[in-house]
Amino acid sequence: MTRVYMIRHGETDWNKAHRLQGWSDIPLNERGRAQAACAAKMMASVPLDVIYTSPLKRAVETADIIRGERDIPVIPEKGFIEINLGRWDGHSPDEMDRLYPGQYDIWRSTPGDVHIDGGESFAAVQERAWKSFLSMTEKNKGKRILMVSHMGCLSTILFKIAGYGLNDLWKHPIGNCALCRVDIGEEGTMHIGEWGRDDYIPDDLKMKVPFGRVKD
């Protein structure tokens, strides 16, 4: 059996401010590093053979903290980068309302229908993330893999396995440094064992409103 531990990166200042965060290379903030340390403690006794990470700083730093002193290769994978938000990147909900009226509420209510100026759709993210996921697991059959990425990217992979539609993306949130787990049998069948587990992170380190304004 192949086992993939999937962890979202820790918090950044843009997460804290509810700014849309795609390809902009924003580092972890202090709370994000503390979240990653909690994930590292939880994963300390888990055998790992290899670590794959999005090339963005917030994911790489999270992966490094979780790896700790273990001699495990860390492989950057472009397919696991977050969704390209184009001209939306870095904007708060209020700024989105002013610059792109109505688009933020579409983003929050039916994300699978969003077409971002200069960016990607979640369908495009799912296509390239799934391709990279299959390549990673094929190269590492029978191994224990840690994959550190972003909520958008991780969610599209899990939705592919579960057969869910992308418009339900925000109904299955993955908090900062939360854990998901996928087990793959020898015949290739995939089972989601955990999705968004974060009981190892203290409440004072979790965002109270994780994903900004939600349309009523």
- Return the closest-CA partner of residue 4 out of 215, 180, 131, 156: 180
User: Which residue is it, tokens 């993210």?
Assistant: 125
Would you call 9 a catalytic residue per the annotation?
Answer: yes
Would you call 186 a catalytic residue per the annotation?
Answer: no
Q: Which two tokens stand for residue 154?
A: 């991780």
CB atoms near residue 206 (< 10 Å): 16
Provide the CB-side half-sphere exposure for 205 (13 A, CA).
22
Q: Which of 11, 77, 82, 120 is catalytic?
A: 82
Helices 30-43/57-67 angle, 10° precision: 40
Q: Which of 9, 11, 77, 120 is catalytic?
A: 9
Give the residues across from 192 on adjacent strands: 182
Q: What share of the chain is helix, strand, coil (3-state, %, to 5)?
A: 40, 15, 40
The residues that are catalytic are 9, 82
